[in-house]
């Protein structure tokens, strides 16, 4: 049996869904999430801004996530800076980024982030920079 992953799905319309997923493959068009309140949802990734694989659902509202690479940032994968259609910018390491794919996984530059990993649908982005980035 596969491990349950805590996820927060951010939709393009600004809504959120917290729950768990067991199976998620970036090649799929949908993701199944068991909501914390009302059961199973099969979500079309065309509606999704990003799927955040989180450490916990509460996070720390007082923590300001760093938007820079430091000596304790992840080192595996390509450095990327992405910008979503809503203007949010994220910085991290892309695992398996290929422009022709439907999406990719991003590990945030800040190792203390509540987000362990983020699945980013390529269609949700307005900008992506790949390479060794300095800010």
Name the residue range of residue 16's domain.
5-54
Determine the pLDDT at residue 56: 93
pLDDT per position as a tens digit, 2-56: 678 999 999 999 999 999 998 777 677 888 898 878 788 999 999 999 999 999 9
Do the bridges between strand 103-108 and strand 115-121 make them parallel or antiparallel, or are there none, so unpaired?
antiparallel
Task: Say whether pTM exceeds 0.85.
Answer: yes
Choose among 116, 128, 118: nearest CA to 51: 118
Residues composing the chain: 135
Q: Is residue 92 part of a domain?
A: yes
Question: Hunting for tokens 């799905």 — which residue is that?
Answer: 9
Q: What is the pLDDT of residues 97-112, one digit of tens each?
A: 888 888 999 999 999 9
Our count of domains for the chain comes to 2
Is there a domain that residue 39 lies in? yes
64 belongs to a structural domain: no
Q: pLDDT for 75-93, tens place per residue? A: 888 999 999 999 999 999 9
Residue 96 located in a structural domain: yes
Q: Are residues 84 and 45 in the same domain?
A: no
The answer to whether residue 63 is domain-embedded is no
């Amino acid at each position: 049996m596969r491990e349950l992953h805590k996820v927060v799905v951010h939709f393009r319309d600004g809504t959120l869904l917290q729950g768990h997923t067991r199976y998620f493959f970036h090649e799929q068009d949908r993701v199944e999430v068991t909501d914390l309140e009302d059961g199973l949802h099969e979500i079309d990734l065309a509606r999704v801004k990003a799927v955040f694989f989180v450490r916990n659902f509460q996070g720390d509202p007082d923590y300001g996530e760093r938007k820079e690479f430091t000596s304790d940032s992840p080192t595996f994968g390509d450095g990327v800076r992405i910008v979503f259609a809503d203007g949010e910018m994220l910085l991290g390491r892309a695992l398996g980024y290929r422009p022709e794919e439907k999406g990719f996984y991003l590990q945030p530059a800040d190792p203390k982030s509540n987000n362990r990993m983020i699945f980013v649908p390529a269609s949700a982005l307005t900008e992506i920079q790949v390479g060794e980035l300095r800010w």
